[in-house]
Amino acid sequence: MGVVVTMKSGKNLADLINENKSHILRYLIHHEGVSRIELSAATGLQPASITKIIQQLIEQELVVETGLSDGSKGRRSISLSFNYRKYSVIAIKLNWSRLKIDLMDFKGNSQEELFSIQFPSLYFERMDEIVSLIAQKVNEIHSRHDNIVAVGVASFGPLLYESGDILFEPQNTQEHRNEEHCYSYPLLSRLRSQIQIPVFVELEAVAGALAYWWFQTNCNPTQKLMHIFAGEGIGGGLIINGHRLSDFLDNAFEFGHIIINANGDKCSSGCTGCLQTYCSFTSLVHHAQTRLNDYPESILFSRRDVLTVYELIDAMNAGDDCAIDTIMDWGFFLGCGIASILPLFAPDIVVISDVMIRCGDPLLNAIERSIQMHKHYAYKTPKLIFAEPDNDLILLGAATVAIDKVLSSPGKYFASTVSV
């Protein structure tokens, strides 16, 4: 007998089979060498249904039989694994100063570094040019690889999730002005109009959170995970019980704009005393430049008018007092921000990625001390983790966005060789 199917919410049999395929593929992508019996126990599907669906997935080359394994009663059974090399996704990282495109398999392994370019600063009027460049590169890649099923884009924000529009601060352009006096650029619709395969867009910090949850926690459904993107700006992404916060709220969780000092300076977006004011690259360099007058012996003193974040980090690692004090203050403010969101979301893990992780354990310890100092006693300090420095979590997140979407509906995105 197969699964007893009850039709609800307008779902038909094909929809339910598609859902079951999704459950099976999502399980296999994180568990290699699983028998059909183990798969039945893990997914709650009847063995007969497992057998039928697995046969279809084998014919589609999504699942492969990988040998024999010992069963619980001494019987040997055929092991199953996800065929992660069969299909690929294109991962795109788009931030204020860089565009990077990579080809990845379904394990998040880079198959080919396709394109990378840096530019001074991205602004509204350049977006059509950037989108055309992305479309040109993606279509060229797709013409050479017939196994690419989707494109994932990890973008700067703010991002409106329902529309896929990016919001820009008011400047000189009067086009596309919305009622909140921002300028919206229809990133997703423009990309989809020029690219021949499915495209999905996610905020860069959320994409990073999804990547870490997907590949480092094996999609633990009970894990509350927060990712902080500590780059040119400060971004945050949350995974709660297996769901992105953005699944429920449009343009949610602009972590960089939570208020930590009601009497502080304004950021470039007009927020008073927000985390961005203290932790953006611009503010970090500014604080170091201001402080250098008190540190004439600093190795940075002669560079104070042209100082970069990278020089500041290198100086800290070389033991420069000015750089150490400035970056420890940065950690203090970031810890304030993390402590302020504990009563709202109480994350178990906070993962920090991008340039600032080069500061290592001294910065990590400073952030943790600040959290301890500022948090409410009822909330435990989350586990703090710096992402692997050689692993671009945002780019991996772009791939994960595409993988997650196509696995949610395998019948739609993978070629079918059998009827359901």
In the CATH hierarchy, which fold is given to the domain comprising 218-387? Nucleotidyltransferase; domain 5 (3.30.420)
Q: Kindly tell me if the per-residue pLDDT of 3 is higher than 50.
A: no
Residue of 196, 212, 195, 193 whose CA lies nearest to 204: 212
What predicted TM-score, i.e. pTM, was given to this entire model? 0.88
Residue of 79, 78, 89, 249 whose CA lies nearest to 158: 249
Mean pLDDT of 366-392: 92
Do the domains 13-83 and 218-387 sit in the same CATH topology, yes or no? no
What lies within 8 Å, CB to CB, of 8 at 6+ separation is none
Q: Which two tokens stand for residue 85?
A: 């090399």
Q: How far is 200 from 245, CA to CA, in rounded Å?
A: 17
Mean pLDDT of 138-150: 94
pLDDT for residue 51: 92
In the CATH hierarchy, which fold is given to the domain comprising 13-83? Arc Repressor Mutant, subunit A (1.10.10)
Q: How far is 1 from 320, CA to CA, in rounded Å?
A: 71
Q: How far is 188 from 102, CA to CA, in rounded Å?
A: 19
Q: Kindly tell me if the per-residue pLDDT of 8 is higher than 50.
A: no
Tokens 């540190």 belong to 295
**pLDDT, tens digit (0-9, with 9 covering 90-100), for 314-358:** 999 999 999 999 999 999 999 999 999 999 899 999 999 988 999
pLDDT bucket at 162, cuts 50 / 70 / 90: confident
Average per-residue pLDDT in the chain?
A: 87
Strand 159-160's sheet: what is its strand order? 159-160, 165-168, 183-185
Q: Kindly tell me if the per-residue pLDDT of 312 is higher than 70.
A: yes
Mean pLDDT of 146-169: 89
pLDDT for residue 4: 38
Q: What are phi and psi of 51, to 5 degrees?
A: -60, -45
pLDDT for residue 15: 83
Do 161 and 246 form a contact (C-beta atoms < 8 A)? yes
- Structural element, H or E, at residue 246: none
Mean pLDDT of 363-389: 94
pLDDT for residue 252: 58
Q: Kindly tell me if the per-residue pLDDT of 140 is higher than 70.
A: yes
Cis peptide leading into residue 47 (ω within 30°) = no
Q: Kindly tell me if the per-residue pLDDT of 376 is higher than 80.
A: yes
pLDDT for residue 245: 79
Q: Which two tokens stand for residue 77?
A: 């059974």
- Break the chain down into helix, strand, coil percent, rounded to 5: 45, 20, 35
Hey, which residues does 151 pair with through a beta bridge? Answer: 90, 199
pLDDT for residue 199: 97
Provide the angle, in degrees to the nearest 10, between the axes of the packed helices 281-291 and 321-345: 140
Choosing among 3.90.800.10, 3.40.50.850, 3.30.70.60, 3.30.420.40, the CATH entry for 88-209+396-409 is 3.30.420.40
**pLDDT, tens digit (0-9, with 9 covering 90-100), for 273-286:** 999 999 988 899 99
Q: What are phi and psi of 236, to 5 degrees?
A: -140, 145
pLDDT for residue 325: 97
Classify 253 in phi/psi space as left (phi over 0), alpha (psi -120 to 50) or beta. left
Q: Kindly tell me if the per-residue pLDDT of 420 is higher than 80.
A: no
**pLDDT, tens digit (0-9, with 9 covering 90-100), for 23-52:** 999 999 989 888 999 999 999 999 999 999
pLDDT for residue 71: 57
Handedness of CA 179, 182, 188, 191 (dihedral sign): positive
**pLDDT, tens digit (0-9, with 9 covering 90-100), for 247-262:** 666 655 788 889 999 8
pLDDT for residue 1: 32
Handedness of CA 142, 148, 150, 152 (dihedral sign): negative
In the chain, domain spans: 13-83, 88-209+396-409, 218-387
Residue of 320, 415, 420 whose CA lies nearest to 362: 320
Q: Kindly tell me if the per-residue pLDDT of 269 is higher than 90.
A: no
The number of residues making up the chain comes to: 420
**pLDDT, tens digit (0-9, with 9 covering 90-100), for 202-236:** 999 999 999 999 998 878 888 899 999 887 778 89
- Burial label for 129, CB within 10 Å (0-12, 13-18, 19+), is exposed
